[in-house]
């Protein structure tokens, strides 16, 4: 039996939570305010704390900070409770050292599960000052996004290398930016590099810099992105597209925390927090010997997997309304019920980026104040199948390209945008599917 402290100013909710805790074989004590809880904490001797975020008087985050900054109290796991979850308070709480962040109402199964995890989990301590002024929101309160927000808070509380995984358009750079913004490195630079957009022969110079005369055209020395991000964060997007030779040099840079400019002989120390991202399945690439296993383990210290938009439920409507407000702040357009239903039914193979582009376009093209179902045009919906007679009127390259595009769209639509499953159904390799989607603009 463990002693559980409930810090909650809603007497009815606190009583119900206390009853559930006792039913699970533990002892519960209720404190109606943060001030009362801190004054009695040592007397109670709590092994676990349930802490409401919005308390009268001392705010829940202030109570959490006070607990985690006290050496004799910091080891007790703290579970944050709130009826108003958003990305900011979730990330803040996890950064300060909260064990978990639950949204009311909380079922008995949730209470049982968090008790089991928290009372057997090794204690962790994380404390720090938080400045959230002007922080952008990571829109979404669906369970998958709540988990992402919690991991961002955990990542921000340390200096560990982070690997962000997710399909194209899910917002990997937004996550990387949030980790940087909430971390202690927030006053230094956040430098983003798209490794797939830079020719392989130029990527080494882009990242590590070069000395004057290192190669033809190197008329001046260049610092490189690692040194530009010194003291801050370097975001390496699409790291899965690096060549084998570049992977080896990246491994050395991460191991030694030092880089050698192209044409130079002396290594230069850099204090950089690296966040890498890719749309690829790196573990699969390792098995196929297309990505270094040792580099994968260097990157995969703390992994954040972004869910595709089709798995985020009502986040779709929250995001759509957010993008409409951003497109027309003074008079944002509204979605009709039928339009909202269509958005929820779409597979969103282009993820958040596809949704953002659609809302931006609709805010310009729809004349009225309300966007209706007939205003929506989904680029990735399957095209009506051409008849054989129509295809036979075309030249071979055109007919082949049209049929190929229709097969790709049909596979994406039937699999809900799951590219791995679409490739399996089409009988092609995933990398080949990516190339064909890019070729056809899908």
Give the pLDDT band of residue 259 (cuts 50, 70, 90).
very high
pLDDT score of 130:
36
Which range has the worst mean pLDDT, 24-38, 352-366, 401-415? 401-415
pTM for the model: 0.67
Give the pLDDT band of residue 325 (cuts 50, 70, 90).
very high
Chain segment 182-232, per-residue pLDDT in tens: 999 999 999 999 998 898 889 999 999 998 887 877 778 888 999 999 999
Chain segment 352-364, per-residue pLDDT in tens: 999 999 999 999 9
Cα angle: 16, vertex 22, 27; to 5 degrees: 115
- 411 sits in which H/E element: helix 396-414
Say yes or no to pLDDT of 418 above 80: no
- List residues bridging with 358 in a β-sheet: none
**Residue 91 CA from chain centroid, whole number:** 12
pLDDT score of 139:
84
Say yes or no to pLDDT of 126 above 60: no
- Which structure tokens are listed for 200? 């392989």
Give the pLDDT band of residue 391 (cuts 50, 70, 90).
low
What is the set of domains in the chain, with CATH numbers? 3-132 (3.40.50.2300), 158-305 (3.40.50.300), 309-375 (1.10.8.60), 388-439 (1.10.10.60)
Give the pLDDT band of residue 136 (cuts 50, 70, 90).
very low
Q: Which residue has the higher pLDDT, 380 or 306?
A: 306
The C-alpha atoms of residue 415 and residue 405 are separated, in whole angstroms, by 16
- Residue written as tokens 């282009």? 350
Give the pLDDT band of residue 274 (cuts 50, 70, 90).
very high
Say yes or no to pLDDT of 266 above 70: yes
pLDDT score of 358:
93
Instruction: Give the C-alpha distances (Å, rounded to integers) separating 83 from 31, 40, 54, 141.
Output: 18, 26, 9, 11
State the angle between helix axes of 430-439 and 396-414 in degrees (0 to 180), rounded to the nearest 10. 120
Question: Is-cis flag, bond preceding 331, omega within 30?
Answer: no
Chain segment 280-302, per-residue pLDDT in tens: 999 999 999 999 999 999 999 99
Number of neighbours of residue 100 by Cβ within 10 angstroms: 18
Say yes or no to pLDDT of 87 above 90: no
Say yes or no to pLDDT of 127 above 80: no
Say yes or no to pLDDT of 67 above 80: yes
Residues 6+ apart with CB under 8 A from 245: none
pLDDT score of 90:
85
pLDDT score of 129:
37
Say yes or no to pLDDT of 328 above 70: yes
Give the pLDDT band of residue 137 (cuts 50, 70, 90).
low
Say yes or no to pLDDT of 441 above 70: no
Burial of 256-266, coded b for 16+ CB within 10 Å and e otherwise, reads eeebbbbeeee
Q: What is the mean pLDDT of the chain?
A: 86
């Amino acid at each position: 039996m463990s002693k559980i402290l409930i810090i909650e100013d809603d007497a009815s909710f606190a009583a119900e939570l206390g009853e559930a805790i006792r039913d699970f074989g533990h002892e519960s004590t209720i404190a109606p305010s943060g001030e009362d809880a801190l004054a009695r904490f040592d007397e109670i001797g709590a092994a676990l704390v349930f802490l409401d975020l919005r308390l009268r008087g001392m705010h829940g985050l202030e109570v959490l900070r006070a607990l985690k900054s006290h050496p004799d109290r910091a080891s007790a796991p703290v579970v944050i409770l709130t009826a108003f979850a958003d990305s900011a308070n979730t990330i803040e709480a996890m950064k300060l050292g909260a064990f978990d962040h639950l949204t009311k109402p909380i079922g008995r199964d949730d209470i049982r599960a968090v008790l089991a995890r928290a009372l057997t989990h090794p204690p962790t301590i994380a404390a720090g000052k938080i400045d959230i002024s002007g922080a952008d929101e990571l829109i979404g309160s669906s369970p998958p996004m709540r988990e992402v927000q919690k991991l961002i808070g955990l990542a921000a509380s340390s200096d560990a290398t982070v690997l962000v995984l997710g399909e194209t358009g899910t917002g990997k750079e937004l996550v990387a930016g949030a980790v940087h913004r909430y971390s202690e490195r927030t006053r230094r630079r956040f430098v983003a590099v798209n490794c797939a957009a830079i020719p392989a022969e130029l990527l080494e110079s882009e990242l590590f810099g070069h000395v004057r005369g290192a190669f033809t055209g190197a008329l001046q020395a260049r610092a490189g992105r690692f040194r530009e991000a010194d003291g801050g964060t370097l975001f390496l997007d699409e790291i899965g597209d690096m060549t084998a030779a570049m992977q080896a040099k990246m491994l050395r840079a991460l191991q030694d925390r030092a880089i050698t400019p192209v044409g130079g002989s002396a290594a230069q120390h850099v204090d950089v927090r690296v966040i890498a991202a890719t749309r690829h399945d790196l573990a699969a690439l390792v098995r196929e010997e297309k990505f270094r296993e040792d580099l994968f383990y260097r990157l995969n210290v703390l992994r954040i997997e972004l869910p595709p938009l089709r798995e985020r439920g009502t986040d779709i409507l929250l995001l759509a309304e957010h993008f409409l407000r951003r497109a027309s702040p003074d008079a944002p357009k509204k979605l009709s019920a039928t339009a909202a239903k269509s958005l929820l039914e779409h597979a969103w193979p282009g993820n958040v980026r596809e949704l953002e582009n659609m809302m931006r376009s609709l805010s310009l093209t729809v004349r009225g104040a309300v966007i209706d179902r007939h205003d929506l045009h989904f680029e990735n919906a399957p095209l009506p199948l051409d008849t054989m007679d129509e295809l036979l009127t075309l030249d071979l390259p055109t007919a082949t390209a049209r049929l190929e595009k229709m097969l790709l769209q049909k596979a994406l639509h039937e699999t809900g945008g799951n590219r791995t499953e679409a490739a399996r159904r089409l009988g092609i390799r995933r990398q080949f599917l990516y190339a064909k989607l890019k070729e056809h603009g899908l």
